[in-house]
Amino acid sequence: GYAVTRTTSSPLANLLKQLAFIPYLVPGISFAVAYLSLFAVQRGPIPALYGTTIILILILAADEVPFASRSGISSMMQLGREAEEASMNTGASWTQTMRKIVLPIQKSALAAAFVLPFISATQSLSPVIILATPETNLLTTLSMNLVDYGYTHAANGVTMMICLVALLGMVITRKVLKVDMGRGIG
């Protein structure tokens, strides 16, 4: 959010903002198929990632980039430049300004930029269906398989586990960063 809002006239910032929105426009299945074709075989120094946990992490992270980036951009747009300029005028470096001024003010927005996509990713099914293998089975695919085999009660239990993982992510964020997501992100 910082790079896009503080360098608005830069063509690179505008390109970054547009690229971050692409995963939202592409259906999850299509996005997963693109990842499958890209990472199914070794390409240069990048090994074949299909069948590994790494490809699932990559696709779930990339799939949530639009939400995380929009959260950061919206939050940074609400923060005026005055506090940063005052810090710089008193002799603070850019790093000190970020650490002492910007990050503490934006702490809840940063938490939202990580927690909300994490919660959404725990429930994501479309890309996981294409990229998960028996060795990389996730709770979402396990739940789907249990329903397919007629074990709906067990599938409901797995779904509750997914909810608990999402809730645990929220609680950990609340405790570690000392932010209350219920009070807003700004």
Q: Is the pTM of this model over 0.75?
A: no
| pLDDT over 60 (residue 174) | yes
* Mean pLDDT value of segment 104-133: 83
The model's confidence at residue 154, banded by pLDDT at 50, 70 and 90, is very high
The sign of the torsion formed by the CA atoms of 169, 181, 117, 69 equals negative
Confidence (pLDDT) at 143: 92
Each residue's pLDDT tens digit, 3-49? 677 776 778 878 888 888 888 888 888 989 998 999 999 999 989 99
Residue carrying the six token digits 């997501």 = 181
Q: Tens digit of pLDDT for each residue in 50-95? A: 988 899 989 988 888 888 888 777 778 787 788 888 888 899 898 8
Instruction: Note the CATH number of domain 2-183.
Output: 1.10.3720.10
- Residue 2: which residues within 8 A CB-CB, separation 6 or more? 72, 76, 98, 102
Round the average pLDDT of the chain to a whole number and report it: 84
Domains of the chain: which residue ranges?
A: 2-183
The reported pLDDT for the residue numbered 152 is 94
Give residue 182's pLDDT band: very low, low, confident or very high (50, 70, 90): low
**Residue for token digits 């000190």?**
96
pLDDT at 27: 87
The pLDDT assigned to 115 comes to 83
Residue 42, pLDDT score: 92
Share of the chain above pLDDT 70, in %: 94
pLDDT value at position 181? 63
Is residue 100 scored above 90 in pLDDT? no
- Cα-based distances in Å from 143 to 82, 96, 129, 137, 146: 50, 47, 12, 10, 5
